[in-house]
Amino acid sequence: MSVDKVFIDDLGVETVIGIYPWEQQVKQMLSVSLAMGWDIRQAAESDDIARTLNYAEVAEYIQLYANEHTHLLLESFVEDLAARLINRFGLPWVRIRVAKKSTVPRASQVGVEIERSAAK
């Protein structure tokens, strides 16, 4: 069993998100960090990008998703994104942390983190 991970840290994406009326009128910047389960041995042995999880493609997919979808809650954003990433890239599991600038006094960011596995 592989415990390899491919990760992207602090990817900035803009999206319409939030429960307040003003939040539905503007795009806000989110910080997305994720670790994805992936067996890297074939890529390491062949030195061939076609045999790995291309994090540039994953990042582009996340950017497009954020641009095309709106949500009230970070929870629905991250849950839907996790399912789509697992499906699109054939991931065995993904851990995603999404944060946005805080409206909570003395907190710079608020967010959620989840870990999801592919259905067996």
Q: Is 101 a catalytic residue?
A: no
Catalytic member of 5, 27, 100, 101? 100
Domain 5-117 is of which CATH architecture? 2-Layer Sandwich (3.30)
Distance CA 40, CA 37 (A): 9
State pLDDT tens for residues 58-111.
Answer: 999 999 999 999 999 999 999 999 999 999 999 999 999 999 987 788 989 999
Q: What is the pTM of this model?
A: 0.91
Q: Which of these, 41, 43, 53, lies nearest to 85 by C-alpha position?
A: 53
Rounded mean pLDDT, 46-66: 95
- pLDDT category at 120 given cuts 50, 70, 90 is low
